[in-house]
Amino acid sequence: MNPDNNLVTSSNTVLSPRRKPSSSTTHTRQSDIPNNSHQRVVSISSVSSRGSSAFASPRYPSGITTLTSLSSDPPSTCISRSSSTSVNYAYQHHHQQYDTNPISEDQFDIINNLDYDDVDDGLIDQELGHRNREDIVHQLYASERAYIESLNLLLNVFLNPLRKDAKQSSFKLLGMKKMICTEREIRWLFGNIDEIIQTQRDILASLEERLQIWGPTQIISDVFHSWFSSLGVYHAYLDNYDVAVTTYERLTRYQPFKKFIDSAHKDPSLRGATLLSLLQIPAGCINRYAQLISKLADMTTPMHPDHMGLGSCKQMVLNLAEELKPKVDDADNVDQVLMIHQALVGAPFGVKAQRRLMLQGQLSRVVVNSRSTGEERTYFLFSDLLAIVRPKQEGKRTVLQYKGHLNLERARVRALGQEEAGGQEHCIEIVSSFHGVDTLNSTYMGAPTVHVLRANNREEQEEWLKQLELVIGKLDRAAAKARHAAAARRMAHGRAGMDSSMRRSGSSSKSSSISSGSSTGATSSIPENSISPRR
């Protein structure tokens, strides 16, 4: 059975056997009765073998509907506003000969008081609740299939061809063909995507199996519970995400890889998707589960057998989403950094896996001696440097023209008063110890440079000061830790060298002693306690 057939869509009927009465069996409002328009007359034409309106009793000009006692057909009320014809008038005249006392309106009270709404409100609410739950389950199933499709594209269009090329290139002679990327770079780029694909296939299979027996009272929380033990694979994927994006950016500047990517992106099955966009999709999987499972739990009434189970699943998936939130936010930051780097023109530095965007905004350079300000620029505060750019339009694309940057390691920052800043308000002074480029992940030494920047208001000045101090402090701590680690390695290396030297010295002394003893033993006997001075 196709699970799609078990789900409610806007054009399908509800699967529940309990339906709201159809138009042929429901009541109709007797709007023609004066002073009694709120009452209702129940149609019983549905139980007649001839339910046509031709067999309905006539409506009198007074608006009162009567039930004939002469017809052999089951009586019914007429709900159409048809004009009186000569046939109807003759029938009415004939009927009045036998019934000179028409039934009064009060005699319909018992019938009129049979209100389906009073009886079916609970059933209708249950039906609507079931429909809403089915809609959420349908969204979950449809999104899961779309997710699996994206993962399969990542596997078939990119990962498998790259693995095949890496294996073939390893058997070829050196220089015959350039490898697109190494097996290590493939691991950096895709992380544990194989584990994620297998996990999601198992999840989809379990969901399809349950939907084959779906019904109004069917439980699904046990299926959700079985997922949580395997969703830990997303921890490893998000931990590797910055490495994946950095590897992607670096490889796109390598011609064989760029050629492969350009060719793969022409695959019609991608429908506009790219390798980078497919790598970004798994980062949002847990949030999708949190949203849909929480909504399903909220739609499930306390009387439903799965109410408690879904409540437990909701709490578990929300806890998992909260646990992964810092890593998901970090992945979003990595994407922002990559977007900025892709828009940069003329920048002498590339993407680093550790680089994060801390703050961005408009600042003006202040020339203190001339008491003037330069043109306002866009400043990007990263976790290791401060970049200065000027946005400009190139066709339909906005690019960021590189104007300079400051390395913040061992830098100093402070707020400047109006007098110190040449009469300018809300100024910040940055004294940079390094000034250079890091194209090869290195910097050259230069004289300390002083930069005075002006913010638009006091709040912006305080925010820039706060973030600059955080970045500089973190860089200083990392540099100190690196120096201690380097010193420890040098000490360990020195001790290892001394131990090796001592061992070589000991071996040389021992061999000399043995050689000397052998030559002496050939001519005379030596006491046992004088063989070696060291015991």
CATH code where residue 411 lies: 2.30.29.30
Are 366 and 321 part of one and the same domain? Answer: no
- Determine how many CB atoms are found less than 10 A away from the CB of residue 420: 14
Residue 59 has pLDDT above 50, yes or no: no
- Regarding whether 376 and 466 lie in a shared domain, the answer is yes
pLDDT in tens, 187-229: 999 999 999 999 999 999 999 999 999 888 899 999 999 999 9
pLDDT score at 421: 81
Q: Are residues 208 and 228 in the same domain?
A: yes
Range of the domain at 292: 128-345
Higher-confidence position of 415 and 35: 415
More confident residue, 472 or 65: 472
Rounded to an integer, the average pLDDT of 501-525 is 56
pLDDT score of 179: 85
**pTM of this prediction?**
0.67
Residue 420: its pLDDT value, please? 83
Q: Is the confidence at residue 83, as pLDDT, over 60?
A: no
Same domain, 327 and 388: no
| pLDDT single digits (tens) 360-398 | 999 999 887 766 777 889 999 999 999 999 999 888 889
Q: Are 161 and 297 contained in the same domain? A: yes
Mean pLDDT of 126-139: 86
Alpha helices in 38-100 (DSSP H): 86-98
For the chain, percent of residues with pLDDT exceeding 70: 65
Per-residue pLDDT, 496:
74
φ, ψ at 394 (rounded to 5°): -125, 95
pLDDT number for residue 8: 39
For residues 108 and 41, the answer to whether their CB atoms sit within 8 Å is: yes
Specify whether 144 is located in the same domain as 293.
yes
Taking all residues of the chain, what is their mean pLDDT, rounded to a whole number? 76
Query: If you average pLDDT over each of 48-52, 121-125, 312-316, 488-492, which comes out highest?
Result: 312-316
Tell me: do 162 and 32 sit in the same domain. no
Judge contact between 452 and 415, C-beta under 8 A. no
* 304 and 387 fall within a common domain: no
For residues 32 and 497, which has the higher predicted lDDT (pLDDT)?
497
Q: Is the pLDDT of residue 30 over 60?
A: no
- Positive or negative, the CA dihedral 485, 488, 494, 496 is negative
Number of Cβ atoms within 10 Å of the Cβ of 177: 12
CA distance 389 to 380: 8
pLDDT at 52: 37
Higher pLDDT: 130 or 286? It is 286
Write down which residue in 73, 88, 114 finishes a domain.
114
Which pLDDT value is given to residue 175?
52
Provide the b/e sequence for 111-141 (b: ≥16 CB within 10 Å).
bbeeebeeebeeeeebbebbebbbbbbbbbb
- Residue 71 located in a structural domain: yes
**Final residue in a domain of this structure, among 52, 85, 114:** 114
> Quick one: pLDDT at residue 495?
76
Query: Which residues pair with residue 59 across a beta bridge?
Result: 65
Helix (H) or strand (E) holding 393: strand 385-394
Of 86, 114, 142, the domain-final residue: 114
- Nearest-angstrom CA–CA distance, 118 and 283: 49
CA contacts within 13 A on the Cβ side of 63: 10
Element (H, E) at 402: strand 397-407
Mean pLDDT of 415-443: 73
Q: Which residue has the higher pLDDT, 374 or 306?
A: 306
Question: Is 276 contained in some domain?
Answer: yes
Residue 45: CB atoms within 10 Å? 19
Residues 285 and 145 in one domain: yes
pLDDT classification of 31: cutoffs 50, 70, 90: very low
Residue 140, in any domain of the structure? yes
Indicate if 307 and 260 belong to the same structural domain. yes
